[in-house]
């Protein structure tokens, strides 16, 4: 029998589950997994902690062994349980999810689960063209790409890799294949790519995609985040409005993360996700399942809940449902970025899943 309402103690109802299928990534983004000397030099210039910013040797990441990563069968079972409790939106993330073989088959299985209405995928775009048709055939309807720079040199500085042209081609391909919508995320960092803000807006308008500008969040492996490097969403909007005519859009639902505007000529839209300066915790309806089977109730939480052991044990769906409801009931009221007692989580965005 279908259960309704994964509700927490603050009255928020969880409908959105983000699932990381791998912690591995083929990019080394400066705000997530920085490893290059260019990244170190940037943080040195920002007067970050010298013990973090001055490291000249590449950082070696310890990826989770395959035995610790949830199988697709385990993921599908968890989604089936969550769907019985009212979850209906799924986003597949990583790491870079397209590094995991068979993601299209997983999406097909999830789409077949009663109650699931929407499945999306977030990717850096480098491998998208290789798997685009299989993803479309599996029933994937929405794509989100990461694109933080339009300048090849700055792109390499931010991602640690060459590959800008491949990402641009992937975005264009997704549009041609009628993925709807196609979103493009850009993390804006002071002193690094904030000078490209207007160019990225123009790109989104010309490409007819939904650009999302995201405040820089403390989720990097180097623990070098500083509040001074955050470009506030209000500043981004003020700058954008000086060059582009925008029409405000109503929120699709109360828990939507982005404040949105469309271009007056109807060619694309922008959104601003201001998690640091204007948090939207009071409306949060999201849960995150890590690739190694831990549930997180907040992107910045220090508490994780082991569901892998339950999925691999003899626990019935009903027992797992009870545990899930208990975890959700105790979901945090919100993060405390900016407070003196804030501590950055140990996991990076790559390990948590975006």
- Position 317 pLDDT exceeds 70: yes
8 inside domain: no
Q: Measure Cα distances from 270 to 202, 214, 239, 262, 267 in Å.
A: 10, 11, 13, 6, 10
Question: To which residue do tokens 């955050």 refer?
Answer: 230
Residues 198 and 203: their CA atoms lie apart, in Å, by: 9
pLDDT bucket at 56, cuts 50 / 70 / 90: very low
Range of the domain at 154: 16-352
Question: Residue 40 is part of a domain; what is its CATH number?
Answer: 3.20.20.70
77 inside domain: yes
φ and ψ at 75, to 5 degrees?
Answer: -65, -45
Structure tokens at 285: 């309806």
What's the total number of domains in the chain? 1
pLDDT tens by residue, 119-148? 999 999 999 999 999 999 999 999 999 999
284 inside domain: yes
Pairing label, strands 210-215, 246-248: unpaired
Tell me whether the omega of the peptide bond preceding residue 93 falls within 30 degrees of 0, making it cis.
no
Burial 70-91, CB ≥16 within 10 A → b, else e: bebebbbbbbbbbbbbbbebbb
Radius of gyration of the chain (CA): 20
287 inside domain: yes
Question: To which residue do tokens 């000397």 refer?
Answer: 37
Residues 8 and 16: their CA atoms lie apart, in Å, by: 14
Strand, coil or helix: 240: helix
280 inside domain: yes
pLDDT of residue 187: 95
11 inside domain: no
pLDDT tens by residue, 237-292? 999 999 999 999 987 776 678 899 999 998 889 999 988 888 777 888 999 999 99
pLDDT bucket at 333, cuts 50 / 70 / 90: confident
Contact 31, 157 (CB under 8 A): no
1 inside domain: no
Question: To which residue do tokens 């309402």 refer?
Answer: 5
2 inside domain: no
């Amino acid at each position: 029998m279908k259960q309704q309402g994964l509700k927490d103690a603050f009255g928020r109802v969880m409908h959105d589950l983000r699932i990381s299928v791998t912690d591995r990534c083929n990019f080394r983004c400066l705000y997530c997994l920085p490893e290059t000397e260019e990244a170190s030099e940037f943080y040195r210039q920002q007067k970050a902690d010298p013990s973090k910013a001055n490291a000249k040797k590449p950082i070696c990441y310890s990826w989770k062994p395959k035995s610790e990563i949830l199988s697709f069968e385990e993921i599908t079972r968890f989604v089936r349980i969550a769907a019985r409790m009212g979850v209906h939106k799924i986003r597949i993330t990583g790491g870079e999810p397209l590094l995991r073989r068979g993601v299209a088959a997983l999406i097909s299985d999830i789409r077949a689960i009663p109650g699931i209405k929407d499945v999306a995928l977030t990717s850096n775009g480098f491998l998208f063209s290789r798997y685009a048709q299989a993803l479309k055939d599996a029933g994937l309807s929405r794509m989100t790409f990461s694109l933080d720079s339009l300048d090849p040199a700055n792109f390499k500085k931010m991602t640690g890799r060459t590959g800008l042209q491949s990402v641009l081609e992937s975005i264009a391909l997704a549009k041609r294949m009628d993925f709807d919508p196609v979103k493009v995320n850009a993390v804006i960092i002071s002193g690094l790519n904030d000078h490209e803000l207007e160019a990225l807006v123009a790109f989104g308008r010309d490409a007819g995609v939904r650009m999302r500008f995201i405040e820089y969040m403390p989720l990097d492996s180097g623990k070098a985040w500083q509040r001074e490097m955050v470009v506030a969403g209000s500043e981004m909007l003020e700058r954008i409005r000086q060059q582009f005519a925008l029409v405000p859009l109503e929120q699709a639902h109360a828990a939507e993360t982005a404040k949105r505007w469309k271009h007056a000529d109807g060619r694309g839209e922008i959104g601003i996700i201001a998690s640091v300066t204007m948090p939207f915790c009071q409306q949060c309806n999201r849960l995150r399942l890590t690739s190694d089977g831990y549930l997180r109730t907040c992107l910045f939480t220090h508490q994780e809940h082991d569901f892998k052991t339950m999925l691999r044990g003899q626990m019935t769906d009903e027992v797992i449902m009870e545990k899930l409801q208990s975890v959700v009931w105790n979901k945090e009221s919100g993060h405390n970025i900016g407070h003196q007692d804030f501590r950055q989580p140990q996991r990076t965005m790559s390990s948590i899943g975006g």
